[in-house]
């Protein structure tokens, strides 16, 4: 999954790739915002991103599709 996090007072969003499901990521985001806690997400390269919940402007979760190699018509 590609996750983009908009942060208040920051001109660019944070982008990370994660192996977690959409439901797991959404659950973590909701819990952090509800509790006013820190959102902690780990990416596929074992890096960790921490964002204070009050600074989150938006979270966009996009399933990634693997690019195909070669010629052919889409299925």
Per-residue model confidence as pLDDT tens digits over 1-52: 899 999 999 999 999 999 899 999 999 999 999 999 999 999 888 899 999 9
Taking the C-alpha atoms of residue 51 and residue 38, their distance in angstroms, rounded to an integer, is 6
Average pLDDT over residues 45-69: 87
The answer to the question of residue 74 being in a domain is no
The answer to the question of residue 52 being in a domain is yes
Taking the C-alpha atoms of residue 41 and residue 7, their distance in angstroms, rounded to an integer, is 14
Q: In degrees rounded to 5, what are phi and psi of residue 19? A: -90, -5
Average pLDDT over residues 61-71: 72
Q: Residue 66 has which token pair?
A: 């693997």
Q: Residue 61 has which token pair?
A: 């979760």
The answer to the question of residue 14 being in a domain is yes
Q: In this model, does residue 69 exceed pLDDT 80?
A: no
Residue 54 structural domain = 2-62
The answer to the question of residue 56 being in a domain is yes
The answer to the question of residue 19 being in a domain is yes
- Report the number of distinct structural domains present in the chain: 1
The answer to the question of residue 70 being in a domain is no
Which one is predicted more confidently, 70 or 29? 29
Q: In the 3-class helix/strand/coil scheme, how is 10-21 assigned residue by residue?
A: CCCCEEEECCCC
């Amino acid at each position: 999954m590609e996750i983009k996090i908009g942060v208040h007072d920051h001109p660019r969003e944070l982008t990370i790739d994660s192996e977690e499901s959409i439901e797991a990521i959404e659950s973590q985001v909701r819990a952090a915002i509800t509790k006013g806690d820190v959102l902690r997400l780990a990416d596929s390269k074992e890096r960790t991103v921490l964002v204070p919940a009050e600074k989150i402007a938006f979270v966009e979760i996009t399933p990634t599709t693997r690019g195909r190699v070669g010629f052919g018509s889409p299925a």
